[in-house]
Each structure stands twice: as structure tokens, then as C-alpha cells.
Amino acid sequence: MRIILPAVFLAMIQAQTPPAPPAAPDPVKTLVERLDLEKYKATIKGLTQFGDRRQGTDRNRAAVDWIEAQLKSYGCPTDRIKYVYDPPPAGGGRGRPNTGLAVGGGRPRGDKIPTGVNTDPMKQPDEKLRALNMQPTTPGPREMVYCTKVGTTHPEEMYIVGGHMDGHGWGEAANDDGSGTALVMELARVFNAPDVKTERTIRFALWNNEETGSQGARAYIAQRQDLQGKENPPGSGKYPEPKWLGMIQHDIMLFDHGMPLPDGTMRKEQRAEADVNIEFQSNSKMAAESMKLAWVFEAANEKYATDYPAAVGPHMTNTDSGPFIDIIPAISLRENERGVQIGNGWDPQWHQPTDVYATYNDKDFRLGLNAAQTTLGAVAGLTGATLNK
């Protein structure tokens, strides 16, 4: 009895303790659950009606108009950046020195499939799509669209969530980068629902001219960097360009079928180990801050992504976060690492006529949806998102 008594007393005390109140529901989880595979697919499909959306063409301009109309319909006020793109003359041989390393700095492994940009219309077997992509690009004025969710308590600070809406290669640019553009648009939809508030501002940017060297993102920086954090008009509480807290790019989100097989073919299905690749650039002024931001996204993936995990890598390159790497924390999310994996041929549709909506199945689209869950979860946390009752 002397041994059992304390246990009995403990049980009596516990019985008198009122039960803990149920934990308040996590508003971020509720927001993530508003993402939907069919809606994400429908937005990608909508973008593919403009073919490869090559910069400097009518189909690219029509896509910018269509994206802007969708963003407005989500209740996200839009604006445009205007700039001029005059490409340098072709040639000049600016090849990279052969270091044995991939672009961005990583070391390639395994079997490789050659990559490149298709420029031959006749490689597109779909005659309707070939005709849609026929108009050539011409130098001149360009536009890109963004929309903004203004923060309630810190409107003067913001995160930029981006994807590039232009493509090339005579397909539909369904994956590169319809998948990233649709992800950004779906996040704009969720964050701009009438019952959602964020303490800080979020800007949803659909860059143009990524495929020619991120001239859209560079124009944005050139025109707006010096406006950061300035209230205008003074005393209005309005900040046309909030201070940049981070830039998160989404560029090719769907296809992780593993590395090329020794016979130069690919697995037909998404690999079971597919992951979302979060990259920062270790060779940049903001490397430490960017790495920290990357791990915030990895943690958000663990908490909110339903199917696929995330991996962090240090070799981010060749995307619209690039022009930001020495200015602010900057990362990218992709289906694979850009340098050692996509550069080694892990995505055989990349810049090819086969990058069309019909190439992908739900396991592919679901990887993009998991990247959307990752970014939505991370950005909702970073900006203090809450739901009105």
C-alpha cells in the first residue's frame, strides 16, 4: 500500500485538473488547405492557351493581359513594369570556362542527357500549336505584371513571390514556367481572399524576359530599388515600394523522374523520392541570410506539404532570384536543382516542343502543388497571416 498510494493521489490530483482548452486552429494550415490540385492544373492549362509565350510576341503580350485579369479577379490590385529589351547581337562566344562544375557551382554526377533550346518549328508535331508559336520575337518595349497584398501593421515591408511567365522552345511552356507562374497566381488567390489579413506586404511578380537573362527582374530592380520603404505621399500610410525582405522564385515545378538512365532514357513516372528543391547561392553577398530563408521554407514544407519533402542546396542559378542575390535574401524553388540536375538532362522537356500540358500527369502536378503548399506556409508565417472570424 505504501508504494501504491502516491500513484492513487496523483490520479486524484490529475482528475481535479481542468482539461487543457483545445488548441486554436492554425490559420496557416487553413490557408494551405485552400490550395487545390484541380485549380492549380486549371491555371496552368489557362496559361498554355498562349503557346510558348515567347517574349516580344503578341502571344506573350496576350498572356500578360490574361494573367492581369486573373489577378484582378482574385481581388489583388495590379501594376506593371515597362522596359525595353534590345537583345545584343548574336554570337560573341561567351561560353563558360570548363571547370568540371555545373552552372551555379555544383558537381554533376551520373549519366547525362544533352540539353538545349529547340529553335526548329517543325519539331512541334501539333500543327495548331506550331502556328500559334510562329510569330517571331522582335526587339522593343516589354511589360510585366505584378499584384500586391498590403500588410496591415507593416505595409512598409514585403516579400516578393515570383515566377516567370515567358517561355520558349515551340511547346506550351507548361512546366517552364507555366507551373511556377500558376503557383504564384494560386497564392495570390488564397492570400487575397476577403477573410485573410497579413501584417506584412506580399508582392506577386510574374517576370517577363527570364529566358533571355532576367531582363524583367533587372528592370524591376533598376526602377524600384531606390523607392524602398518610402511613404508616398508623405503621411498617407502608403508605400508604393515596401522594403524588400526576401525574393522567392518558382521556376519549373513538376517533373522529378530522377536522373537519366544509362541508356539515355528516363523513368516514365514521378520518382517515389521526388522532392522540392530549395536553392540559395553560397557565392553571393547575402548567402547567410538566403540560407536562413531557405531553411524557413524547408521547415514549412515539413509542416504543411502533403506528399513530397524539400531539400536545400547552395547552387541557385539562372533564374529571376539571381539579380537579387547581393541585395536581399533570395531563393528559388524547383523540381530539381538547376545546375547539376536540370543541367544534366533530368528534365527532357526543358525548352522543348514536348513541354505541353498533356505531357504531365497528376503525380507531376502534385509536386508543383507541394511547392505551392511550402511557399504558402512559409510566407504566411513570415508575414503574420491570420483569418477573420
Which residues would be at the binding site for Zn ion (CB under 5 A)? Answer: 176-177, 251
Which secondary structure element, helix H or strand E, spans residue 279, and what is its range?
strand 276-279
Rounded distance between C-alpha atoms, residue 139 and residue 379, angstroms: 36
Among residues 251 and 279, whose Cβ is nearest to Zn ion? 251
Which secondary structure element, helix H or strand E, spans residue 304, and what is its range?
helix 287-304
Q: Which residues pair with 78 in a beta bridge?
A: 147
Say if residues 329 and 231 touch (Cβ distance below 8 Å).
no
Among residues 149 and 315, whose Cβ is nearest to Zn ion? 315
Among residues 241 and 347, whose Cβ is nearest to Zn ion? 347
Least spacing, CB of residue 303 vs Zn ion, in Å: 27
Angle 37-48/58-73 helices, nearest 10 degrees?
Answer: 150
Among residues 156 and 176, whose Cβ is nearest to Zn ion? 176
Any long-range contacts for 272-276 (C-beta under 8 Å, 24+ apart)? 274/308, 274/335, 274/363, 274/367, 275/308, 275/309, 275/310, 275/311, 276/301, 276/305, 276/308, 276/309, 276/310, 276/311, 276/333, 276/334, 276/335, 276/367, 276/370, 276/371, 276/374
Dihedral sign of CA atoms 266, 341, 162, 28 in order: positive
Among residues 172 and 177, whose Cβ is nearest to Zn ion? 177
Among residues 156 and 177, whose Cβ is nearest to Zn ion? 177
Least spacing, CB of residue 210 vs Zn ion, in Å: 6
Amino acid at site 48: T
Least spacing, CB of residue 175 vs Zn ion, in Å: 9
Least spacing, CB of residue 173 vs Zn ion, in Å: 8
Among residues 169 and 246, whose Cβ is nearest to Zn ion? 169
Rounded distance between C-alpha atoms, residue 211 and residue 322, angstroms: 13
Residues 6+ apart with CB under 8 A from 315: 102, 104, 105, 106, 279, 281, 282, 337, 338, 339, 340
Among residues 157 and 177, whose Cβ is nearest to Zn ion? 177
Least spacing, CB of residue 348 vs Zn ion, in Å: 15
Q: Which residues pair with 85 in a beta bridge?
A: 140
Least spacing, CB of residue 180 vs Zn ion, in Å: 7
Looking at the chain, the number of H-run helices and the number of E-run strands are 9, 10
Among residues 41 and 334, whose Cβ is nearest to Zn ion? 334
Say if residues 40 and 368 touch (Cβ distance below 8 Å).
yes
Residues 6+ apart with CB under 8 A from 72: 78, 147
Among residues 212 and 383, whose Cβ is nearest to Zn ion? 212
Least spacing, CB of residue 78 vs Zn ion, in Å: 22
Pick from 208, 159, 371, 203: which is nearest to 275 by CA? 371
Least spacing, CB of residue 169 vs Zn ion, in Å: 10
Rounded distance between C-alpha atoms, residue 146 and residue 192, angstroms: 13
Least spacing, CB of residue 381 vs Zn ion, in Å: 26
Pick from 251, 228, 213, 231: which is nearest to 328 by CA? 228
Least spacing, CB of residue 177 vs Zn ion, in Å: 4
